[in-house]
Amino acid sequence: MQIVDEIITEKKGKLQLILGDLTDISPEHKVDVLVVSAFPGNYTPTSTSLIGSLFSAGLSVERLASEKESDFRDQFDSWISKEINFKNIKRILCFEPEEEKNPYSMIAGIFQSIMPFATQYSIESVAMPLILTGCRGASDQMVLKELIKTSLFWLDKDFPVKTIKIVIKDISKIEQLHPLFVAHENKYLAKSVPTKYDFFISYSRKNQNFAQLIREKLQPNFRVFLDTQDIDIGTNWVNKLNTSLEKSERFIVCVSVDYLASKPCKYEFTYCNLVLINKGDDYVLPVYLYSAELPFPLQILNYHDAREGQLNKIEEFCERLIEKYTV
């Protein structure tokens, strides 16, 4: 295992591009989690997959799947194994997204899937291959570009994970992709992202009328971010959301069944949950629009109850925010 290049973030996180073999990780590169991907429920060890290489090295992902430590496939398309301590790998995290046309959604999903496990199991180091480039058919350049950008976004926050290793076995592929890594390193070092918005409204497009009402009520007093453009299949919505999330101070979460079913909304709330953990509930402000089966991170929040879409309750919520946060 050889570090080809490394980016150190402002929060002292490390993103490493490594030449090496994920089935034979050396002690100095030991990791808490190795990320693998699979089609849902399919752990067949093929000759071209990481699951196949691990099987040849003596580790069956199918066996690990039969005795998972935690299974979050319903919410985050992923599960985590019990401790295995195999070749300096502590656990396997298996990412099993449904087939879809947007690779950006799947890459966002990888980091979204890491988040709930990272806090619970004290995960500080993660290794992964150029995920989704095998049977999923995504290009090496696109995947590396998005892995770099999304990794840096999360490493720059108070993310439990402190080191992310992108490992490539083929030296010719490393030589081809290294300039892309360097270009993003230079871009990262030159960046400046001042706070621009007082509130970021996280909502489902199907509840857009309520989100627009909230913005309308708050805008005379605050700078409010509300993305009203639809996210089309194939667009890089992850980069767009990351930029806006970084520029926002507080987050209004419009909870409904449609919100919980939306992949961009789930990604936004993963970020909000990290803010909640590190800053407290004064920065994450849920308004409950319609009854839904809430995941645990939302159950523990103090939300403003506006079920079932009561406009007067939403206006009351806005008035409270104006009273509390107007300087």
- 73 contacts 113 by C-beta, under 8 angstroms: no
- 78 contacts 116 by C-beta, under 8 angstroms: no
Topology match between the domains 2-189 and 197-325:
no
**pLDDT tens-digit series, residues 181-218:** 999 888 887 776 566 889 999 999 899 999 999 999 99
Beta-bridge mates of residue 172: none
d(C-alpha 269, C-alpha 201), whole Å: 11
- 267 contacts 231 by C-beta, under 8 angstroms: no
Residue 28, SS3 per DSSP: helix
Read off the pLDDT band of 272 (50, 70, 90).
confident
Burial of 269 (0-12, 13-18, 19+ CB in 10 A): buried
Highest CATH level, class, for 197-325: alpha beta
**pLDDT tens-digit series, residues 22-58:** 999 999 999 999 999 888 999 999 888 899 999 999 9
**pLDDT tens-digit series, residues 209-257:** 999 999 999 988 898 988 875 454 455 667 777 778 888 889 999 999 9
pTM of the predicted protein model: 0.72
Q: Options 3.40.47.10, 3.40.220.10, 1.10.3470.10, 3.30.1380.10; which CATH number does 2-189 get?
A: 3.40.220.10
Break the chain into its structural domains and give their ranges.
2-189, 197-325
Is the bond preceding 308 in cis, omega lying within 30 degrees of 0?
A: yes
Residue 46, Cβ neighbours under 10 Å: how many?
Answer: 13
Q: Would the pLDDT of 320 be above 80?
A: yes
Read off the pLDDT band of 259 (50, 70, 90).
very high
